[in-house]
Copies of this chain bind each other. A is one copy, B any other.
Amino acid sequence: MNISEIAKRAHLASIQLASLNDEIKNNALISIAKNIEKNLDKIFEANRKDIQNAGNINSSVLNRLKLDENKARDMVKGIYDVAQLENPVNKVLWKKEIDENLILTKITCPIGVIGVIFEARPDVISQISSLAIKSSNAVILKGGKESTNLNTLIAGLINEALDTIEEFPKGAVNLIHSHEEVKEMLEMDKYINLIIPRGSNSLVKYVQQNTKIPVLGHASGICHIFVDDKADLNKAINIVTDSKTQYPAACNSIETLLVHKDFKYKDELIDAIKKEGVEIIKNPDSWSYEYGNKTLSYKEVSSVNEAVSHINTYSSGHTDAIITEDNKNADIFLNSIDSSSVYHNASTRFADGFRYGFGAEVGISTNKTHARGPVGVEGLVIYKYLLQGSGQVVRDYVNGNKTFKYKLL
């Protein structure tokens, strides 16, 4: 089947999915979880094959790629967890009588077909598929080529499980394989309603520049901490080191440290950071470079406003934090920073769907429309308006025979 056929079938499936009740969706998820549990041996085998094929890879890539017993258990648990989530579609957002027997309802509904391009992590395919099923969306998935064997096996197990649920439409979960197919997918704006690229800056930028379909995600994570002159030294040391060194490659790790020039403990702070193996760069070539390692750009500023202005210019709009004991400065920062997550006295590493308590996340978005910050299943739904009348026509209201009432129900 070519991409256009896959996309068209997914679109048709998505319309059937929209009116599927929650019980059927949960049965589908439980059936998937059981089929994965039953086939863990095959899954480990496929993962071993992928690792073998990967050849010489460094230990951090190997760690990410390898599916161990713990990750497998979490993967299965994750599917059961999604089944437990509240049904995100068919939720009445509000209902009002706009006139007698003329009821307007705003109700959540699925987006339709979602294309997801993700990196080589073995647990992503079941997670994204589960979230899509729970939110009544069809998906077209493209995984990292390093996980080809595993992804193909798991996509097969998912569809095998879905086939046992009679009411579940065919073609809701699809896996594609090549870069060429991704290129074609990005042109399917007639059938695909949202693209979520999860991966490198260059992947996200490529997707953003090559599709008319809305894209949800973030190209880069240029996060900042501003240490105010009214900061507590211990909090500053703790938060800065956590935000830089706890997982330097993460998008929510900081790249730039701004320090108020009058902060009394500047030297102590810098010494403590350096002790954690962080290299400090005082005049970087660029203020919007994402190191992804233990390097940190450093600048002194004269005020919270100068910090705000620097951050609003160079931040990628992901996560930025102030450290201060002065609530007025904290408020200026929280109000004025134009990023999806803005923090006071907390590590930027908290910017994550699981830590925010969303249960699961489809990614982190730096968009200014639709969904922003860590995106849970709520980001996979939209709404529609239902109007239920008893024969009403507009000319009666234009002529003045009738007037609207607007009573919230």
A residues lining the B interface (CB < 8 Å): 14-15, 18-19, 96, 98, 102, 104, 111-112, 193-194, 208-209, 212, 214, 216, 232, 234-235, 238-239, 241-243, 246, 312, 330, 332, 334-336, 338-347, 349-351, 355-357, 367-374, 382-395, 397-398, 404, 406
**Cα–Cα, bound, A312→B17 (Å):** 14
Residues in B whose Cβ lies below 8 Å from that of A238: 391, 393
Establish whether residues B368 and A336, one from each chain, have CB atoms under 8 Å apart when the complex forms.
no
CB distance from A362 to the nearest CB of B (A): 13
Using A208-B212, A242-B395 as known contacts, say yes or no to A368 and B338 having CB atoms under 8 A apart: no
Using A344-B387, A385-B373 as known contacts, say yes or no to A393 and B239 having CB atoms under 8 A apart: yes
Establish whether residues A387 and B341, one from each chain, have CB atoms under 8 Å apart when the complex forms.
yes
Establish whether residues B334 and A386, one from each chain, have CB atoms under 8 Å apart when the complex forms.
yes
Residues in B whose Cβ lies below 8 Å from that of A330: 388
Residues in B whose Cβ lies below 8 Å from that of A232: 391
Residues in B whose Cβ lies below 8 Å from that of A341: 384-387
Residues in B whose Cβ lies below 8 Å from that of A243: 393
Using A18-B338, A342-B386, A355-B98 as known contacts, say yes or no to A347 and B393 having CB atoms under 8 A apart: yes
Using A384-B339, A398-B246 as known contacts, say yes or no to A391 and B355 having CB atoms under 8 A apart: no
Establish whether residues B111 and A346, one from each chain, have CB atoms under 8 Å apart when the complex forms.
no
| 6 pairs of residues in contact across A and B, judged by CB atoms under 8 Å | A209-B212, A246-B395, A344-B388, A346-B387, A346-B388, A346-B391
Residues in B whose Cβ lies below 8 Å from that of A344: 386-389
Establish whether residues B212 and A387, one from each chain, have CB atoms under 8 Å apart when the complex forms.
no
**Cα–Cα, bound, A339→B392 (Å):** 20
Establish whether residues B347 and A369, one from each chain, have CB atoms under 8 Å apart when the complex forms.
no
CB distance from A131 to the nearest CB of B (A): 16
Q: Name the contact of A346 in the complex, choosing from B112, B235, B389 (C-beta under 8 A).
A: B389
Question: This chain: how many copies in the complex?
Answer: 2
Q: Which residue on B lies nearest to A327, using beta carbons?
A: B388
Residues in B whose Cβ lies below 8 Å from that of A390: 235, 345
**Cα–Cα, bound, A282→B392 (Å):** 27
Q: Name the contact of A384 in the complex, choosing from B14, B208, B355, B372 (C-beta under 8 A).
A: B372
**Cα–Cα, bound, A242→B393 (Å):** 6
CB distance from A78 to the nearest CB of B (A): 17
Residues in B whose Cβ lies below 8 Å from that of A340: 384-385
**Cα–Cα, bound, A234→B18 (Å):** 32
Q: Which residue on B lies nearest to A330, using beta carbons?
A: B388
**Cα–Cα, bound, A241→B382 (Å):** 31
Q: Name the contact of A382 in the complex, choosing from B14, B15, B332, B369 (C-beta under 8 A).
A: B369
Residues in B whose Cβ lies below 8 Å from that of A334: 386, 388
Q: Name the contact of A386 in the complex, choosing from B96, B239, B343, B372 (C-beta under 8 A).
A: B343
**Cα–Cα, bound, A341→B387 (Å):** 7
Residues in B whose Cβ lies below 8 Å from that of A98: 350, 355-357
**Central interface residue in A104, A212, A340, A346, by most chain B CB within 10 Å:** A346
Q: Which residue on B lies nearest to A380, using beta carbons?
A: B369
CB distance from A257 to the nearest CB of B (A): 15
Establish whether residues B194 and A369, one from each chain, have CB atoms under 8 Å apart when the complex forms.
yes
